[in-house]
Amino acid sequence: MEKKTWFDRLLVWREKHIKEKHFILILSLMIGILTALAATILKTSIHLIQKFLTEDISVSNANYLYLIYPVIGILLSGLFVKYIVKDDIGHGVTKILYAISQRKSRIKPHNTWSSLVASSITIGFGGSVGAEAPIVLTGSAIGSNLGRLFKMEQRTLMLLVGCGAAGAIAGIFKAPIAGMLFTIEVLMLDLTTASVLPLLISAVTAACVSYILTGTEAMFQFNQTEVFDLNRIPYVLLLGVICGLIALYFTRAMIWAEGIFRRLKTFWKKFFFGSIILSILIFLLPPLYGEGYETIGSLINNQFEHLMDGSLFYSLHENKWGFIIFTLFIIVLKVFASSATNGGGGCGGIFAPSLYLGCIVGFVFAFVFDNILPHLPGSYLPAANFALMGMAGMMAAVMHSPLTAVFLIAELTGGFALFLPLMIVTISAYFTILLFEQHSIYTIRLAQKGELLTHHKDKAALMLLNLDNVIEQDFMAVHPSMSLGDMVKVIAQSPRNVFPVIDAQNVLRGVVLLDNIRNIMFRPELYQRFHVKKFMISPPAKINIHLPMEKIMQIFDDTKAWNLPVIDDEGRYLGFVSKSKIFNAYREVLVEHFSDDV
């Protein structure tokens, strides 16, 4: 008899003494603590590396070290991922969505630490990406693996993944409300009475731990000196439309650039191409270095003259048109700096880039009206306030998360007095991008493959179904050269009335329906005259093993069939799938994942 370990005994004790719903709350508390610690480690690592590398950077001259630092960063990060992690750790939020919909909420154990190492190196050395997606992946991995350690069921694992994401956002931004809303809006987990409390516990715990470790002040120091004037609402709406259109450009350009890097098959080709683009862009436009939070801090405090520090264009820092042109180049080229960072081997997300772009767009929007078009009636716009609105608008549009954007900006800066304009700009930006793009930058890749889990419970249940689990293989196969007499012997042994016809390579050639040969199968004089290839027919459709379940159900509806053969990419026969089997599995998934009781 195998001896039980201390952990096995702990599991048995827990099952006897702690109810499942109470234990989930304990796990959510643990996740909040761990994610806050991870967020603090990541932020501290990035800060220390950047301080060490840039403390001697000249403010008034071009700095050629900007040509070197980003190259070293993405090289070290790329080699770490390639030779130590040996797995793709990019697109952190997309990976979480994929794990929820396709991997039963199971995230690999190395994701609890690998993204921290890779992203701190990438961003510390100047990679033009954010640390939020890596920390969200880290937090979700902590939740997933902690749940698996304590043998939690799949539905609970999904909730713990959400707790990890909520804790990560709350921990890195000190924004508990935004952390919970991020999980609901971006990860698209349904908010039920059973799930709201664990999410809230993780988010609040993570924020509290971050307060203890790094102080209670907001992430960005913002002093609101201008009260919002209702006469400025048209300008806020216009800013939202502009943010929505720039977010559309950012999303489409990012997907396009990623496609180019995907076509570069080798690691070194991607590295050389990405590093050259990134280093040149950062050398010409130093504000692209790192996350860009220093730039945000400067702009929301009206210190825009520092934006050209350390660049070739420092002499133009007091010129209005020079400032506008410089920022327009940043707005256009930021997406290529971010995609070059990740495509070249670095690790980071687009959370910070969207906030950074929004801040610049909002500030420049107000700057133009205040300095270039001051004669327009009521056109004076507080640039710092509009910088915050731009952050909210851009984030709402890029991530399709208006509620998260409103609360995150308010919690990041303490700008709760701007709640009304923040809501107006996010709604305007969100509806603008919805006219052109139905999916966020996180979900567009999965949506194109039919692998996206949504709030729509019917579609979500189908998405969670695995085709491998509903394939039936008790259909007896026959060969095209088989005689009718041999076919009758197979029929006598089979409980089915459909027979797949396969060749020597197991490729599906057609099917035989019992109803189609019933009139000749009892005539022995025809047994040697007829062969299977003469009375076999093509099936109404063939199901590829990689098709999403929603598409499979659409094929069943179109063909009116109840049984369809399943094949692989080479056309080899794998079995049959029946509509009734899918319906039974679908009902089980609904009960397991979408009932309100945990």
Domains of the chain and any CATH numbers: 17-214 (1.10.3080.10), 230-450 (1.10.3080.10), 459-594 (3.10.580.10)
* 511 DSSP 8-state letter: E
> How many Å apart are CA 280 and CA 272, to the nearest integer?
12
> How many Å apart are CA 150 and CA 170, to the nearest integer?
24
Of 175, 101, 558, the C-alpha closest to 355 is 175
Q: Which token pair is 552? A: 């499979």
Q: Give the pairing of strands 563-567 and 543-544.
A: parallel
pLDDT per position in the chain (598 positions), as tens? 456 787 778 878 888 888 888 899 999 999 999 999 999 999 999 999 988 888 777 666 767 888 899 999 999 999 999 999 988 887 777 777 777 766 667 888 998 999 999 999 999 999 999 888 899 999 999 999 998 888 888 778 888 999 999 999 999 998 899 999 888 888 766 666 677 899 999 999 999 999 999 887 877 777 776 777 788 889 999 999 999 999 999 999 999 998 899 888 889 999 999 999 999 999 988 899 988 888 888 888 888 777 777 677 766 667 788 888 899 999 999 999 999 999 998 998 888 999 999 999 999 999 988 887 766 665 688 888 899 999 999 999 999 889 999 999 988 877 677 888 999 999 999 999 999 988 888 777 666 655 555 444 445 555 555 666 778 888 888 898 888 888 888 888 888 888 899 888 888 888 888 888 888 888 888 878 888 888 888 888 888 887 877 778 788 888 888 888 888 888 889 888 887 777 776 666 655 554 544 3
437, 245 contact by CB (below 8 A):
no
> How many Å apart are CA 283 and CA 298, to the nearest integer?
20
- Reported as type and span, the H/E element at residue 452 is none
Indicate the pTM of the whole model: 0.77
Question: What are φ and ψ of residue 384, in 5° steps?
Answer: -65, -45
> How many Å apart are CA 89 and CA 345, to the nearest integer?
10
Q: Give the pairing of strands 563-567 and 573-578.
A: antiparallel
> How many Å apart are CA 96 and CA 113, to the nearest integer?
15
What amino acid occupies position 388?
Answer: L
> How many Å apart are CA 255 and CA 442, to the nearest integer?
10
pLDDT (0 to 100) of residue 215: 84
Integer angstrom CA distances of residue 523 from 66, 71, 486: 86, 79, 13
Cα 437 to chain centroid, rounded:
16
CB atoms within 10 A of CB 261: 17
pLDDT (0 to 100) of residue 331: 94
Q: Which token pair is 183? A: 């999980």
Beta strands in 48-117, from DSSP E residues, in sequence order = none
> Is residue 159 classed exposed, middle or buried when 0-12, 13-18 and 19+ CB atoms within 10 A define those classes?
buried
pLDDT (0 to 100) of residue 598: 38
